Amino acid sequence: MTAPKEKLVLIGNGMAGINTIEHILKLAKSRFDIIVFGSEPYPNYNRIMLSYVLEGSKTIDDIILNNWSWYEENGIKLHTGTAVTRIDTKERIVYAENGISQPYDKLIIATGSNPIVLPVPGKEKEGVIGFRDIGDCSAMIHASKNYGRAAVIGGGLLGLEAAKGLVNLGMKATVIHLMPDLMERQLDPTASAMLKAELERQGIEFKMEAQTAELLGSDRVEGVRFKDGSELEADIVVMAVGIRPNTALAAEAGLQVNRGIVVDDYMQTSEPDVYAVGECNEHRGIAYGLVAPLFEQGQILAKHLAGAETQPYEGSVLSTKLKISGVDVFSAGRFMDSPELKVLRKQDEWKNVYKKLLLEDGKVVGGVLFGDVTDSAVVQQWIKNGVTLNEELYAEFMGVSGGSEKSPLDRVAAMSDDEIVCGCNGVSKGRILEVIKNDGLTTVDEIKSCTGAGRSCGGCIPTVSNLLQLALGDSYAGAGAKTGICGCTTLSRDEIVAAIREKRLTTTREIMHVLEWNQTEGCSKCRPALNYFLNMVWPKEHEDEKDSRFVNERLNANIQKDGTYTVIPRMYGGVTTPQELQRIADVAVKYDLPMVKVTGGQRIDLIGVKKEDLPDVWKELDMPSGYGYAKALRTVKTCVGSLYCRFGTQDSIGMGITLEKMFERLDMPAKLKMAVNGCPRNCAESCTKDIGFVGNDGGWEIYVGGNGGIKPRIADLLCKVKTDDELIEITAAYVQLYRETANYLERTSDWIERLGLDWVKASVLDDIENRNGLTARIYEALEGVKDPWKRVVEDKVERESYYGNTTLVTN
């Protein structure tokens, strides 16, 4: 008889805690039932990439490390937006918001740290923001749209990243720093001065050796007053003066706490079966605030919990990299001059490069790099191993002319197999070479997916690429020369679709087997894509594989941060009936739903439905799903058009309903939105939709490639048509062209920019034979679509009796 699984509870859904869980899953996946509590409404994301989100080069989706499906696929119960309020170590139960109580056999506390807020008058004013999580990023992005002046208190790593992001958002940003040098805990005065000069060139202003005395303003912050009486105007103030371990929960539970939660060399706290990992803990008197030590701790804790042999954690060599576009800074170990240290320096003001190595008794104990951080991994390894400098290493580091300066390949070849390449994730050279050889990996992305190297800050990617080139030799084609749709394969989207057709592949498992996936079960990225490709290629033959769909699509509802779901019934063109409204109201009352919201797509969203109630809710609504969760047509937004509006020239409601009914259940590469306007006044906002239609006296204008989301894009005019039939024909061909040529999860706005509007026009408008083929294939696909929910009001009679003479077309 199989022994029952132990309950492993993790408090904290951040990088340190989930990294530990990832290692546990590799070592002893069947040993634990895992329950995770996270106070933020997001799955696990890369906190050290927040600066890129702030500056706009990445989106929130780009920094997600483990998406919603990952938790479900690994049997992890995730409570997002739910803070744990109490730990009872005697009864072994954690208590969370909303009355949740969860027993545990093993407990990991990974509550991270809190930003330090200066105890100055005015700190509570509106517009005073920290820089610690996605919420802080969102607050700064929102502020930048309404205000122009920002003050950032703190000239350390976080402060400088925040300031650069705010400058990129169009704000005037001033960094206020108490000390005479920036990043004085990581850089010597020379590197600090070079950094300041470079950031000034990038638009950041500085007020050095300034002590904040008060934040000015009434309800909202308006400026900063300094101890010397001078003032600085500011519409927002970002506090980035440091962090402190988040220990409140542990202290209340009676665990031993100093600066952090005190742990031993295996992350054990003062209570049995309770562990702490990451920024919240304190090991041998040190509370680490950088990512690499936290991952080292997580690996050891995972092995300990899985019963695997492991060395104790003995501390970490600290290193820092600055993540600002155009600025490369690295520091590790000791960095300040001292009488007992020998110092090697090289400064090139022409190329803006600075290199410094510090020796104690001939051994490397520290280093600083500015402008060129190629040697960062090597220097960190020298420090960790206490390497004694010799003539060869000296020539290598200093780049002595005529000496033994090594090429990048020579450098990685000289590294020992146990040298750490990715400090963030603890991945060694030997591990990378092992997976390249054993798993046949040929791209950096595959290595990243398989080992985690390069998944966090990305600073090790050049070294990973060099190792790949070293291992593959003449067969190396460049780090990005051939990238598969995910780390499970080197095959591109086009190669996979071609193989599906040529080899008559009919299931995702068959694709993975025949095309030699290096992970036999695939992953959460490729399985939904393969299922879509099969549905697109074989619309009638392929039986949809529900287990290859995202969780929201499987449940026909959107999961929310509290674990409940939102249900969106379909309302064609934003039109409904009193009977449908009555059913919606009855369901909301019966199931005690906390909110009923009118969406931006002219529908009604029932929020807070429990998972177990979803089948009954849909049954009682007796309406088709609005597909608010699907990679499909979400909604067709309409104005009232010629039916009621005095400016309307075309029947926008009738056309909107026709289009929505035509395409509503057809799978797409990504979500797709339409809008139909009855006149050029554009009340339905066609200019920001994937496909938009604008009516005029002479017919219709068709616009494509719009996006109103994270990456806004105004739609392009595709063409003008005179009749409704032409509109439907060209739209059908356009949609099928997108279905057949877009990458999975690629929105039409990105697709248009990648392939070009001229190519789209040529394919849909100019090549009549091609257009006919596209429309034929989409109608074939539409015939094979199965509706998962019962359709109601199938005939147009009932709707026409309510809406008068509007022409409604059913499919």
Q: How far apart are the first and last CA of the chain?
A: 55
Dihedral sign (CA 455, 460, 461, 466): negative
C-beta separation of 528 from 554 below 8 A: no
* SS3 label, residue 473: helix
Percent of the chain that is helix, strand, coil (3-state, to 5): 35, 20, 40
Residues 6+ apart with CB under 8 A from 119: none
* SS3 label, residue 124: coil
* SS3 label, residue 603: coil
Using a 10 angstrom Cβ sphere, with 0-12 exposed, 13-18 middle and 19 or more buried, the burial of residue 751 is buried
Tokens 């400098």 map to which residue? 389
Q: Which two tokens stand for residue 522?
A: 């695939």
DSSP conformation class of 48: G
Q: Is 460 annotated as a binding residue?
A: no
Q: Which two tokens stand for residue 403?
A: 């000496």
* SS3 label, residue 547: helix
Q: Is 683 annotated as a binding residue?
A: yes
How many Cα atoms within 13 Å fall on the side-chain side of residue 317?
22
C-beta separation of 281 from 260 below 8 A: yes
Name 225's bridge partners.
214, 231
Using a 10 angstrom Cβ sphere, with 0-12 exposed, 13-18 middle and 19 or more buried, the burial of residue 725 is exposed
Q: What angle do CA 69, 70, 76 make, to 5 degrees?
A: 100
Choose among 614, 754, 735, 620: nearest CA to 674: 735
Q: How many Å apart are CA 489 and CA 367, to the nearest integer?
A: 39
Q: How many Å apart are CA 357 and CA 342, to the nearest integer?
A: 8
Tokens 């697109």 map to which residue? 536
Choose among 132, 176, 184: nearest CA to 152: 176
Q: How many Å apart are CA 257 and CA 252, to the nearest integer?
A: 10
Q: How many Å apart are CA 764 and CA 93, to the nearest integer?
A: 62
Tokens 């002590």 map to which residue? 211
With both helix axes pointing from N to C terminus, report the angle between 391-398 and 376-385 in degrees, rounded to the nearest 10: 150
In DSSP notation, 138-168 reads: HHHHHHHTT--EEEEE--SHHHHHHHHHHHH
C-beta separation of 16 from 298 below 8 A: yes
Choose among 625, 635, 695, 688: nearest CA to 660: 635
The dihedrals phi and psi of 777, each to the nearest 5 degrees, come to: -70, -35
The dihedrals phi and psi of 354, each to the nearest 5 degrees, come to: -140, 130
Extract the annotated binding site.
Answer: 639, 645, 679, 683
Q: Per the annotation, where are the binding residues for siroheme?
A: 683
Query: Binding site membership for [4Fe-4S] cluster: which residues?
Result: 639, 645, 679, 683
